[in-house]
Amino acid sequence: MLTPLSPRPTRCAFLVGEMPTALVVRLIFWLWFGAAFLAGQQLLLQRLPPLAIPAVVLGLSALLLAAYFRLAAVRAWVDALNLRPLVFLHVTRFVGVYFLVLYRRGLLPYDFAVPGGIGDIVVAVLALALTFAPMAEAAHERAVRIWNILGLVDIALVVLTAARLNLESPLQMRALTYLPLSLLPTFLVPLIVATHVVIFVRLNRPRAAA
């Protein structure tokens, strides 16, 4: 007795499977951004205890990384991206210029604004160069690896310094609790931390498994 052959999957079938993942990820990110914006508008961070803000950063970073490592569809979508867009995200670290402006106005302490601001500006300039500079693939990957280490060290120092200063006196870090800087702990910094880890994973993955 003949049994009907199951149709072979086509490229269109794969696209149908890919599109929902991309759309769902983008939708979640927009909803997350909206919630972070609303939290800043409502000054919700000002109502939290000092340790809660670094906990928010670490918790959101962990959620992003859990989605990447545990959800195959999300991991496949992220891994399909070229490294350059992941690096380009870090151009947002030109926010360091605003840190320096707020320090001059007396709204942020030196220990946070100046080292963190200068470090972020350097990382952002290098991210811009790595995104658009014409380089051979091997040379580009080596440069990204060095940049990724510098960028991760910088953001770790920024987060630790902010946590320390917030514990000493929350008022000196008050600028991080309202818009636009409230988007740093609730949205941008977790993205920065997670993309640094993802870049490390991808650079260290064997070619055959990439």
Per-residue pLDDT reduced to its tens digit, 2-41: 444 444 444 443 333 445 678 888 999 999 999 999 999 9
- 95 dihedral zone (left: phi>0; alpha: psi -120 to 50; beta): alpha
Residue 24 in domain: yes
Contact partners, residue 78, CB within 8 Å, separation at least 6? 68, 198
Q: Is the pTM of this model over 0.75?
A: yes
Residue 95 in domain: yes
Residue 9 in domain: no
Residue 181 in domain: yes
Sign, Cα dihedral of 190, 191, 196, 199: positive
Least Cα distance to 64 among 182, 150, 162, 186 occurs for 186
* 148, 35 Cβ separation under 8 angstroms: no
Domain holding 127, by residue range, is: 15-209
Residue 3 in domain: no
Over residues 40-80, the pLDDT tens digits come to: 999 999 999 988 999 999 999 999 999 999 999 999 999 99
Residue 4 in domain: no
- Structurally, the chain folds into a number of domains equal to 1
For residue 117, the Cα-to-chain-centroid distance in whole angstroms is 17
Residue 148 in domain: yes
